[in-house]
């Protein structure tokens, strides 16, 4: 498998920018390119969370389904964002659904492959979590603000 | 900065009579009115200032001025119906009369930021007090290094001045990012809080060049300031507009006390480094 291109792509991504060449080569072995057409569902809620997606081009809507109503978009993701954290946390199932709102190009990383490499190499595992955690924390902070429904009572 | 009421008002407690020239709905529960003075005299205000609007027989409230300060013959106010007085103001029709005291309070120091990148961060109806400053930069665009507006609202239906914001976005010399807290399928814009968009807008730019103006819910501004500070924007280049219970508007009654200041007189626009020690104190 040609992984050299993936190493370069990963090295330019904010999460992996500090990784050395050998580590990037290791991760690149789990990577593949994907293209998703606008409007297509990338995964449904409850699906096995077997991939992490690095968005290269295009936009994604993260949606929560509601009975007898249209789903609600709770977050949109854009180039350089990461889609899908559930591959890190048992039972490895998606808690929301993701839809491409435009034509989408992503690099996806196989979750089982990443977990196996992290288990085999704890230093890599630590580094992965150390670099991913700030992004997850940023998303949690944003969601906290979102649930406050701040604008409901604002006045001029 | 304290700006004295216009000189035509001998007594700042006496309202001047204005006629509603136009009245229109903006979004659900929010309406704008365009007012002309009965006395035919000029109208003068600075971006960021507010007036006390008196709905005759109902009461008086503070409402920021949301029109263009370059138009010296009219006032525009945008109000959300949240109480008896604001509801009465949102229900005014063409030809109705209102009393106006003002303008009061401090202003966005936008005229003093030439050569810099003006960054506006608005949440909800916070776009209304920022709009006069945006008009100023748009009218003098070549004097500024850049103009960015980041605007957040609850949902696509709650976006204020949506058509006007879309027109700004279509300009090649203005950066506009709109985001909502949640949306139904079909919305092709962003969903997420303004701080997320700020992170992106700030990436790669020169923070030393930015002058930031924030208006919206206080928690949003707090997180917005944290985001700006983390990106390297100095607190002495960040201004926020605060909202408190303003009654007299001239610093007498004390209802809007904010630490050692009165928001009606010393605010509503504050440079952040001057209030940073107060803004996170729940007692204040």
Instruction: Quick: pLDDT tens for A52-106.
Output: 999 999 999 999 988 778 888 999 999 999 999 899 989 999 989 999 999 999 9
User: Among residues A56, A59, A96, which one has the least CA distance to residue B179?
Assistant: A59
Cβ pair B192:A142 closer than 8 A: yes
pLDDT one-digit tens code per residue, B239-272: 999 988 888 888 888 888 988 899 889 989 999 9
Judged by CB atoms closer than 8 Å, whether chains meet at B192 and A73 is answered as no
B125 shares contact with chain A (CB less than 8 Å): yes
Instruction: Give the SS3 label for residue A144.
Output: helix
Give the residue from chain A lying closest to B223, CA to CA. Answer: A145
Which chain B residues are within 8 Å of A142, Cβ to Cβ? 192-193, 195-196
Are B195 and A78 an interchain contact pair (Cβ–Cβ within 8 Å)?
no
- At B142 the three-state DSSP class reads helix
CB contact under 8 A, B181 and A61: no
Minimum CA–CA partner of B86 in chain A: A155
Domains of chain B, first to last? 16-104 (2.40.30.10), 110-241 (3.40.50.80)
Interface residue B200 vs chain A (CB under 8 A): yes
Residues of A in Cβ contact (< 8 Å) with B153: 151
Question: How far apart are the C-alpha atoms of B224 and B218, rounded to whole Å?
Answer: 10
DSSP strands (E only) in chain B: 16-27, 30-37, 50-55, 59-64, 75-80, 97-104, 117-123, 146-153, 175-180, 190-191, 210-215, 238-241, 257-258, 261-262, 269-271
- A70, A74, A142 ranked by CB distance to B195: nearest: A142
Would you kindly state where each structural domain of chain A is located, as residue ranges?
Answer: 31-141
Would you call the peptide bond into B38 cis, given omega within 30 degrees of 0 as the criterion? no
pLDDT in tens, B148-190: 999 999 999 999 999 999 999 999 999 999 999 989 888 889 9
Q: What is the pLDDT of residue A68?
A: 76
Average pLDDT over residues B209-232: 93
What is the interface size between A and B, counted as CB pairs within 8 Å? 90
Which of B181, B202, B269 has the highest number of chain A CBs within 10 A, making it the mutation to test binding with A? Answer: B181
Helices A21-28, A111-120: axis angle to 10 degrees equals 140
The ipTM assigned to this model is: 0.81
Q: Which of B78, B182, B223 is the best substitution to test chain A (most A C-beta atoms within 10 A)?
A: B182
Q: How far is A91 from chain B (nearest CA, A)?
A: 27
Distance, in Å, from the CA atom of A65 to the CA atom of A43, rounded to the nearest integer, reads 12
**Under CATH, to which class is A31-141 assigned?**
mainly beta
B97-108: average pLDDT: 95
Task: Name the helix (H) or strand (E) containing B265.
Answer: helix B263-266
pLDDT surpasses 50 at B43? yes
For chain A, which residues lie within 8 Å of any Cβ of chain B, measuring from their own Cβ?
61, 63, 70-76, 78, 99, 101, 138, 141-142, 145-146, 148-156
The pLDDT score that the predictor gives to residue A65 is: 83
């Amino acid at each position: 498998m040609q992984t050299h291109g993936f190493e370069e792509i990963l090295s330019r991504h904010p999460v992996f920018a500090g990784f050395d060449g050998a580590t990037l080569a290791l991760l690149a072995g789990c990577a593949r390119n994907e293209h998703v057409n606008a409007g297509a569902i990338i995964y449904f809620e409850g699906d096995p969370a077997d991939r992490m997606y690095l968005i290269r081009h295009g936009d994604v809507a993260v949606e929560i389904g509601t009975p007898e109503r249209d789903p609600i978009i709770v977050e949109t993701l854009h180039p350089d964002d990461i889609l899908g954290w559930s591959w890190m946390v048992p039972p490895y199932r998606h808690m929301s659904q993701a839809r491409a709102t435009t034509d989408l190009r992503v690099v996806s990383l196989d979750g089982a492959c990443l977990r196996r490499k992290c288990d085999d190499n704890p230093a890599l595992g630590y580094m992965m979590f150390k670099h991913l955690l700030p992004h997850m924390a940023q998303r949690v902070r944003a969601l906290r603000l979102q649930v406050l429904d701040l604008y409901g009572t604002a006045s001029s | 900065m304290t700006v004295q009421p216009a000189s035509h008002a001998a007594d700042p407690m006496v309202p001047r009579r204005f006629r509603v020239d136009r009245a229109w709905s903006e979004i659900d529960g929010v309406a704008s009115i365009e007012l002309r003075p009965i006395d035919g005299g000029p109208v003068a205000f600075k971006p960021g200032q507010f007036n006390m609007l008196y709905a005759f027989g109902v009461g008086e409230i503070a409402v920021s001025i949301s029109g263009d300060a370059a138009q010296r013959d009219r006032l525009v106010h945008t109000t959300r119906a949240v109480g008896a007085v604001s509801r009465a103001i949102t229900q005014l029709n063409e030809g109705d009369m209102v009393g106006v005291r003002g303008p009061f309070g401090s202003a966005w120091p936008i005229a003093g930021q030439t050569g810099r990148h003006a960054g506006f961060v608005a949440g909800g109806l916070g776009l209304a007090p920022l709009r006069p400053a945006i008009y100023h930069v748009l009218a003098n665009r070549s004097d500024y290094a850049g103009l960015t507006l980041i605007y957040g609202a609850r949902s696509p239906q709650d976006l204020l001045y949506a058509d006007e914001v879309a027109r700004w976005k279509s300009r090649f010399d203005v950066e506009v990012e709109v985001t909502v807290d949640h949306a139904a399928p079909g919305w092709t814009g962003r969903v997420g809080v303004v701080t997320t968009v700020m992170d992106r807008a700030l990436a790669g730019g020169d923070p030393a060049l930015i002058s930031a103006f924030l208006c919206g819910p206080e928690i949003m501004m707090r997180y917005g300031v944290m985001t700006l500070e983390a990106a390297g924007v100095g607190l002495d280049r960040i201004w926020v507009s605060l909202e408190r219970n303003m009654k007299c508007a001239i610093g007498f009654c004390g209802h809007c006390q904010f630490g050692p200041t009165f928001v009606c007189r010393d605010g509503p626009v504050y440079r952040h480094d001057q209030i940073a020690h107060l803004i996170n104190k729940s007692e204040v």
